[in-house]
Amino acid sequence: MVLQRLRRELRFGTIVRFGLGIAFVWSSTFTQAAGAAGVTTATIVDPVLNMQAYSVRIPAGWKFEGTVLQGPPCDELPYPVYRAYSADGLSELRTMPRLDWTYNTLQPGRQASGQCLPLARALTAREFLSYFARMIGARYVGDMAVAPLVRARTAAALAQMKAGAARIRGFRATGDVAAVRVLSTNGTFAIEQRLRAWVLCKSAPFLQGSTLSGCFARVDVVRAPKGKLDALARQVDALDLNTVPANPAWSQREAQVIIARGNARLQAQAAHNAAVMRAQQQRFEQSMAIQQHNHDQFLAQLQSSTDSSMRAANASMNARSTAASDWVDYALDQQTVAGSGGTAKVSSAYGQTWSNGQQWYQTNDPNANPNGVLGGNWKRQTVVHGNGTPR
């Protein structure tokens, strides 16, 4: 059943100038048409300002996780990340962390921060998706259509950015949206994904006749088992799901924080604003903690192996063998599991792995259980060292 469309009222926010760049704050509001069913609204709370920042429309009955992250130094505007997934864990909507990069003609290729992408030119949305697919190890299958509403919303955002900076001599802005189909795996299951990217780039005169440029890209994902992506993507587009309207009050508050922070840097004062900045930086650092945790575990294990080698040659050989196999897993973004399916190498992006003796299923949902959903007798596998020895 095709659900009734929603009436939408788009409201675009304010161009805010700070430092040497231009930051665009965008928010949208919508009202749900009477009688619409099968859709629910989830909220994302900014843990620093302690207020609702965004609302997300997702299919009813799906589970939801989301938060607000602080942007990197090349574009400090905060942004939402979230994922909504079906009860079986196989279908998912996701908004990825925003990706930013800056470059200038004085120092070609030099980045303002290692937290920004190593890109030195503007990209179209299609070019960025090709780059992004390689980053996540997905295989490109083909292009997908972009809903007219999404194209119109992107064009309006670009026009608003240009209008807000019309008085800046030499200011230029470009941007577009594109979508592609890629293929990846969840254990032994083929998963189709629609990657849809928005890319906006801006440049303005800088020092000594040079230009300072910056771009950001947002990627959202629709994921489903192979053969079911098109139906889910049509539903998402028809109902304008997987969109993240901002709370206008939060946008205004965040804009005030950004302006105050810029003034504080120029005047080397305003301790309260500096405290807010540190808190937001901590929030960003916490978002990277999971990736850092695996790296720290490897270093700790390597140190333990080195200490053990000084006490016993035999133990040293075993420890080095274990550490080497774990490092191979770490370097290849994989983990080793053992159980009813024997010993197998699977993706390290998931916290749980199940097997029915011939196939493997992976998920990050601690409550997911493929028994009764997928055929066969599924048992949870145990994570072991890369050489198969118990942890």
176 and 248, same domain (yes or no)? yes
The pLDDT score that the predictor gives to residue 31 is 32
- Express each pLDDT in 49-63 by its tens digit: 888 999 999 999 999
The pLDDT score that the predictor gives to residue 386 is 84
State pTM to two decimals: 0.56
The answer to the question of residue 283 being in a domain is: no
- Express each pLDDT in 195-247 by its tens digit: 999 999 998 887 777 788 889 899 999 999 989 999 999 999 999 898 888 88
The pLDDT score that the predictor gives to residue 36 is 43
The pLDDT score that the predictor gives to residue 260 is 82
- Is the confidence at residue 20, as pLDDT, over 60? no
210 and 337, same domain (yes or no)? no
SS3 content of the chain, % helix, strand, coil (to 5): 30, 35, 35
The answer to the question of residue 325 being in a domain is: no
The answer to the question of residue 98 being in a domain is: yes
E strand or H helix that includes residue 139: strand 139-144
The answer to the question of residue 223 being in a domain is: yes
- How far apart (Å, rounded) are the C-alpha atoms in residues 49 and 27? 17
386 and 242, same domain (yes or no)? no
3-state SS assignment for residue 31: strand
342 and 230, same domain (yes or no)? no
21 and 132, same domain (yes or no)? yes
225 and 337, same domain (yes or no)? no
Structure tokens at 190: 């083929």
Q: How far is residue 323 from each of residues 173, 296, 308, 327, 380, measured CA to CA in Å?
A: 49, 13, 12, 6, 24
117 and 236, same domain (yes or no)? yes
- How far apart (Å, rounded) are the C-alpha atoms in residues 220 and 179? 9
The pLDDT score that the predictor gives to residue 22 is 30
Q: What is the CA radius of gyration of the chain?
A: 24
- Express each pLDDT in 172-186 by its tens digit: 889 999 999 999 887
The answer to the question of residue 285 being in a domain is: no
Domain termination site, one of 245, 268, 291 = 268
- How far apart (Å, rounded) are the C-alpha atoms in residues 355 and 192? 21
Fill in the DSSP letter of residue 168: S
Q: What angle do CA 36, 41, 45 make, to 5 degrees?
A: 165
E strand or H helix that includes residue 185: strand 172-186
For the sheet containing 382-384, what is the strand order?
342-347, 334-339, 382-384
87 and 162, same domain (yes or no)? yes
β-strands 342-347, 352-355: how paired?
unpaired
Q: What angle do CA 164, 241, 75 make, to 5 degrees?
A: 35
Task: Please state the rounded mean pLDDT for residues 86-100.
Answer: 91
- Express each pLDDT in 266-288 by its tens digit: 776 557 777 777 877 887 778 77
Task: Please state the rounded mean pLDDT for residues 156-177.
Answer: 86
Nearest partner of 89 among 307, 288, 348, 351, judged by Cα: 351
Question: Amino acid identity of 225?
Answer: P
- Is the confidence at residue 25, as pLDDT, over 60? no
Domain termination site, one of 239, 268, 297 = 268
- How far apart (Å, rounded) are the C-alpha atoms in residues 118 and 124? 16
More confident residue, 146 or 207: 146
Count how many domains the chain has.
Answer: 2
184 and 72, same domain (yes or no)? yes
Q: Lowest-confidence range among 7-16, 241-250, 301-310?
A: 7-16
The answer to the question of residue 87 being in a domain is: yes
The answer to the question of residue 327 being in a domain is: no
Q: Are 339 and 388 in contact (CB under 8 A)?
A: no
Query: In three state form, how does the secondary structure of 379-391 look?
Result: EECEEECCCCCCC
Mark out the alpha helices in 165-228 (DSSP H runs): none
Domain termination site, one of 268, 295, 320 = 268
257 and 361, same domain (yes or no)? no
The answer to the question of residue 189 being in a domain is: yes
213 and 343, same domain (yes or no)? no
245 and 364, same domain (yes or no)? no
Range of the domain at 353: 332-391
